[in-house]
Chains A and B, each alone.
Chain A
Amino acid sequence: MASWFENVFEFLFKYRPLLFERGTLSFGASWVVLVASVVAVVAAVPLLLRYRDVRGKSSARDRVVLTVLRTAVLLLVLFCLFRPALVLSTVVPQRSFVGILLDDSRSMQIADVDEQPRGAFIQETFGPESSVLARALADKFMLRFFRFSESAERLNDPAGLSFAGSRTHLSRALQRSTDELSNVPLAGLVVISDGADNSNAAVSDTLLDLQARKVPVYTVGLGRERFTRDIEVTRVEAPRTVLAGSSLVVEVTISQRGFDGETVRLDVEDNGRIVNSRDVTLTAEAEATTVRIHFTAADAGARVFVFKVTPEEGEMVTQNNERHQLIHVEDERPKILYFEGEPRFELKFIRRAVSDDENLQLVCLQRTAENKFLRLDVDDPEELSSGFPKTREELFRYRGIILGSVEASYFTHDQLRMISDFVSQRGGGLLTLGGRLSFSEGGYAGTPVAEVLPIVLEPMQERSEAEELAGPAFFAGLSVKPTPFGTTHPVTQFGADTDASTARWATMPPLSTLNVVERVKPGATTLLTGSGPEVDEQPVLVFQRYGRGRSAALTINDSWQWQMHHDIPLEDMTHELFWRKLLRWLVSYVPAQVTVTTEKHRYAPGENVSVRAEVDDDRFLKVNNARVTGSVRTPSGERFDIPMEWTVDKDGEYQGNFLPSEKGIYEIDVTAAREGVELGAATGYTESQELDDEYFQAEMRAPLMQRIASETGGRFYTRETVDRLPEDMSYTEGGTTIRERRDLWDMPIVFFLLVGLVGSEWGYRKLRGLA
């Protein structure tokens, strides 16, 4: 159905706007008319000059108005005498081809208009009883049908669509159909779809190609641009790998239509068991509501967590109320090296806090005298036997480092650089603790370690030995509280929700600091701050990503008071939980020498799974000449090997592929060796399931459809306007066409203008008494 604007335009200008867009203006006047016109113009000049000098009742303004009106009339007549015409390129009937691309994905089953599925339009139009539209197209063009979802293929019978495709890949469909029709005169493509592309592929390159081939694409959008009522779990931000027993705080984004201000329930399920729930109040429609939900990944292995909003009455799509997330819960025991430069109670209480944690190994090295060290929880007699590691191989065995109160001058420059590289290159976690020999007070300003830290270290004035003996340069009591981000961070959230966490922190006894820390680095995140009688607010727990790893600074001196303090009940586990969560978080995402990942955590059966492995040596330098073997275990327990080759694009990266045929979780084991020496092994998981992506962001995406049409010279239609499609398609540069002239001198607008101008002159003269 045409818009009122188009109707008015067509009435005045004889043709629809599209024809003026497509056509070019030309004039068909003979040379006699041209000569006569020139003579008339030449003759008119002295007449005008003469008219200017005429004196009578008229004023100068009257003469100007009358001259303009009369001249306009003459020019209009002259325009008509020139025989203006619109030259159009139109197709020769049945001599050009049109590719019709029909969306066969699942989103076409959504019944969001008149309780009819979107796909019903396709069935009605191209089904056994062809519609007017189909007949009109078939009269003008040779039609070639394609079905598309993830891929595109020729379709002989449009009635054979099943609307079961698990993805919509528009650019691939356009490319595939254009390629197939490249040898025939192609008048254009018609895409009938909801435009809900979920391939994450850019269409720009395809559109450029279509422009170059001069193939206009006409898009027909099906479905609603906005659902009336719907809730969607839009995004779940969860780690792919965590340590068993770790607390997780996962960010869930919920979008809604028609549920402003309403409260819904969000559940987290671990293999069918609800592990946490919370109520979420949805914000205004234009905004997505992001909440953080806390739960524990208790059981090791590949676990599928479901984040689910209970369906509400009247929702248009309920399949988008849940998202699945595959998380590899590792049952490992990563080693953390805790180096303390002097005997401190922090070490004792941190050890106690994590001693029961089967997924953490805290190896302690405590300097108890000038050159005397106490080693605790080492694996063998050689470990740390000569103090803090002196080689990268020795240091990079650990996944995390805690630096306590130890002065920078204890380390050699190489060791300081190694600590920095431990974070940036090895991808390890570094935690620095407050103390009389930490941070600026420990002389770290200007060292490679200072670069890694998330806080700004100001150079300190040199202190004499007597001053050092007299005590620390700075001391302040601090009441610690979380920042808004800290109340929901996995390390600092205590309790089921933000309020409970904030309340818990409010009861914690004050601690102390010996370090002046005023500024955090840009990009660093502060989780805890502290303030007291001696100091204004200063950061207490800050972290930042640095290179491949992360670094954190805990500026307090005596967190053990959270365990020992008289006001803390004996059964209180805050101190233990804080340290376990902090250390687990510190080493949670630290890569091993060999890592394996897949691009996504979920694939459809038959979809290519691209496996990537990164291989480092024991100094964490990339290895390009390793022999990397991949072995895949299917859900039914069968095993097959996949070849893995160096990608060449990136150092140390190897790639392999396989096609999952079963539904379930696939285990991918990768081993790497170089010159007969094993470099390491890694295990990853991916899930093969029918994808439900089609139900997410499933509203008709008009902007994308309009863009495809406008950039290729086509037009965008809806169900209401699609009846114009056959006619519009006939005016095209593509296919077999002829040039056609359409006269314009007899446009109604010309007549109305002539009448209007002459009438205006007459009226003006009557008004001014000049008639």
Chain B
Amino acid sequence: MALQKRWKLSSAVAVVLAVGLGFVCFAATARPPVATPEPPQSTDAQQSIFTLPEALSDQARRRPIAVPNVPREFYFTRAAYTGYYRFRDFRSWSVDFPKADRQFLIGLRRLTNLDAYEAENAVPLTDPDLNKYPFLYTVEVGYMALSEAEVVGLRRYLHAGGFLVIDDFWGSFEWENFQNQLQRILPGYPIVDLPLDHPIFNCFYNVQEIVQVPNVGQGMQGGPTWESDGYYPAVKGVFDEQGRLMVVINWNTDLGDAWEWAENPYYPLKFSTYAYQMGVNFIIYAMSH
């Protein structure tokens, strides 16, 4: 009887724990999309370059972001989008933000003669001023859940001539979500593999191999480079009707982490070198093609 009672108690505890764990997991991963930020009113020609977009997350706003007081040719612009993933102030678009952006910009300014703004520049997809930055970087698209306004904003941006680089999403689960989102943005546009002889691999650095860049933890510990079931890295693209590359997709790889931790002596040089080379190539390509 005692045994039976103890079994029942154990079962009840297990059920409670299971339910509790399930709830926590659901809360952490399947949280309903956050409300779409209200697009700010269109401002005059220069205002948005110098001011932080209102729609940025609290986290981003709390961080010290240097506001540019001089015009620059290039702003490393990160897309601030609506996603499923949210933990306190942390949103999926802001992974590695802003350290990765800043460190990459240091390298970019040193390696090229590009007149690049030194700090990060995150802009919501619904912001009309998004179109003032023809280069856009975004991450963790496996958790992307765009509002209709964001879909329209990004579609318009890409058709007008904007260039989008996607990074840091892994495995088939995240791919499926991304693919669904992309079909909303660019319905009917196929995603194709970019061969190594595509100019994006040699317009500045001659990249001869697509490297899987692991997250910082696995990279420094020498663990496996993959996550989930994303065993093989790929660089894919979406072209417009004229054959012009609009979107570059870095799947099963995390260039952002390599930029963010490039200064760490334990972070393998191989990964950060590849990440910087690809990053520079993306930008040079985006500014010439």
Q: Which residues of A contact B (CB under 8 A)?
A: 341-345, 347-349, 351-352, 355-356, 364, 366-370, 372, 374, 376, 436, 470-472, 475, 477, 509-512, 514, 560-561, 563-568, 570
Contact = CB atoms under 8 A, between A and B. Distances in A.
22 contacts: A342-B73, A342-B113, A343-B113, A343-B114, A343-B284, A344-B73, A348-B161, A351-B288, A352-B244, A367-B113, A368-B204, A471-B72, A472-B70, A472-B71, A560-B161, A564-B132, A564-B161, A566-B128, A566-B129, A566-B130, A566-B131, A570-B159
Contacts of B129: 566
Interface in B195-227: 203-204
Nearest to B157: A564
B204 A374 contact: yes
| Residue with the highest number of chain A CB atoms closer than 10 Å, among B129, B161, B286, B289 | B161
Given A510-B45, A564-B160, A564-B162, A368 B72 contact: no
A364 B288 contact: yes
A65 B286 CA distance: 107
A729 B283 CA distance: 91
B161 A563 contact: yes
Contact of B156 (A344, A510, A570): A570
Contacts of B42: 566-567
A376 B132 CA distance: 25
Nearest to B117: A471
A366 B161 CA distance: 19
B268 interface: no
A568 B284 CA distance: 25
Nearest to A468: B115
Given A471-B71, A568-B160, A570-B160, A370 B288 contact: no
A509 B43 CA distance: 12
Contacts of B69: 471
Nearest to B127: A566
A565 B161 CA distance: 10
A343 B73 contact: yes
A733 B171 CA distance: 114
Given A343-B287, A561-B132, 16 more contacts: A342-B115, A343-B284, A347-B288, A352-B244, A368-B284, A374-B204, A472-B71, A477-B45, A477-B46, A510-B44, A510-B45, A512-B46, A512-B71, A560-B134, A563-B161, A566-B130
B288 A366 contact: yes
Contacts of A369: 111-113, 204
B4 interface: no
B161 A349 contact: yes
B70 A370 contact: no
Contacts of B175: none
Interface in B151-171: 156, 159-162
Contacts of A471: 69-72
Contacts of B242: 355-356
B232 interface: no
Contacts of B203: 374
A477 B50 CA distance: 14
Contacts of A372: 204
B231 interface: no
B287 A477 contact: no
A511 B46 CA distance: 10
A348 B113 contact: no
A370 B111 CA distance: 9
A348 B287 contact: yes
Interface string B113-142: 111000000000000111110100000000
Contact of B113 (A370, A477, A563, A568): A370
Interface of B: 42, 44-46, 69-74, 111-115, 128-132, 134, 156, 159-162, 203-204, 242, 244, 283-284, 286-289
Contacts of B112: 343, 368-369
Contacts of B70: 470-472, 475
A374 B161 contact: no
Contacts of B131: 564-566
A352 B134 CA distance: 13
B47 to A, nearest CB: 10
Contacts of A374: 203-204, 284, 288
Nearest to B69: A471
Contacts of A364: 288
B156 to A, nearest CB: 7
B111 to A, nearest CB: 7
A570 B241 CA distance: 14
A463 to B, nearest CB: 13
A407 to B, nearest CB: 11
Contacts of A563: 160-161
Contacts of B46: 477, 512
Contacts of B134: 345, 348-349, 560, 564
Contacts of A566: 42, 128-131, 156
A308 B265 CA distance: 80
A565 B42 CA distance: 11
Given A342-B113, A368-B113, A564-B134, A376 B288 contact: yes
A567 B287 CA distance: 22
Contacts of B45: 477, 509-512
A475 B161 contact: no
A467 to B, nearest CB: 11
| Residue with the highest number of chain B CB atoms closer than 10 Å, among A342, A343, A369, A376 | A343
Nearest to B71: A475
A368 B204 CA distance: 8
Nearest to A475: B71
A351 B283 CA distance: 16
A563 B244 CA distance: 15
Contacts of A567: 42, 128
A433 to B, nearest CB: 13
Contacts of A512: 45-46, 71
Contacts of B73: 342-345, 436
A511 B44 CA distance: 11
A348 B159 CA distance: 14
Contacts of A352: 161, 244
Query: A-B pairs with the 7 shortest C-beta distances?
Result: A471-B70, A566-B128, A343-B287, A477-B45, A510-B45, A564-B131, A566-B131
A367 B204 CA distance: 10
A217 B217 CA distance: 109
| Residue with the highest number of chain B CB atoms closer than 10 Å, among A376, A475, A566 | A566
A475 B115 CA distance: 15
A366 B242 CA distance: 23
A349 B128 CA distance: 19
A368 B202 CA distance: 13
| Residue with the highest number of chain B CB atoms closer than 10 Å, among A347, A348, A349 | A348
| Residue with the highest number of chain A CB atoms closer than 10 Å, among B72, B112, B129 | B112
A596 B234 CA distance: 57
| Residue with the highest number of chain A CB atoms closer than 10 Å, among B111, B286, B288 | B288
Contacts of A568: 160
A560 B42 CA distance: 18
Contacts of B113: 341-343, 367-370
Nearest to A347: B288
A563 B156 CA distance: 11
Contacts of A561: 132
A341 B287 CA distance: 13
A351 B289 contact: yes
B279 to A, nearest CB: 13
A342 B161 CA distance: 20
Contact of B286 (A348, A355, A511): A348
B161 to A, nearest CB: 6
Nearest to A568: B160
A344 B132 CA distance: 13
Contacts of B128: 566-567
Contacts of B132: 561, 564-565
A471 B49 CA distance: 14
A567 B111 CA distance: 35
| Residue with the highest number of chain B CB atoms closer than 10 Å, among A366, A512, A560, A565 | A565
Nearest to B108: A343
